[in-house]
Amino acid sequence: MLATPIVRLLYQHRHFTEADTKIVAPCLAAFALGLTFNGTMLMLNRGFFSLQSPWIPSWVALGNLGLNALLDAVFYRFGIWGSRSRPSLVNIAGTGALLVLFRRRMRGFRARDSGRTFGP
């Protein structure tokens, strides 16, 4: 929602025009979507390391690398928007994989109960 005003405020000067803002703002929005999932992945990685299971996030990261390469080939034709949506999709997939593996490892862990701490 704030992508256009942010891009306009920070970049729209001199040679960076309104047309450029219209191109860059959706890219910022697509990239920002993955930031939440990136932070979640970092926390899950730390959880696995604290359980003395460092190879689990390492294998997921390797899978993310392969998925990143695959999506790079697929999204290449979408131009700049595709290059910014790809990391978000990879972060979403990696977070999903780590959550599934963490739930298997920690049998009493319920994501719904943990999610309630963020909302009413």
Chain centre distance of CA 108: 26
Which range, of 17-21, 58-62, 66-70, 114-118, averages the lowest pLDDT?
A: 114-118
Question: Which helix (H) or strand (E) segment is 52 a member of?
Answer: none
CA distance 64 to 3: 27
Per-residue confidence (pLDDT) for residue 28, from 0 to 100 = 83
Domain boundaries, the chain: 32-118
**Residues in the chain, overall count:** 120
- What integer is the mean pLDDT of 82-87? 78
**How far is residue 33 from each of residues 9, 16, 21, 106, 118, measured CA to CA in Å?**
20, 24, 18, 27, 17
Is the whole model's pTM more than 0.85, yes or no? no
Helices marked H in 1-120 — which ranges? Answer: 3-11, 18-50, 55-75, 79-105, 111-115
Q: How confident is the model at residue 110 (pLDDT cuts 50, 70, 90)?
A: low
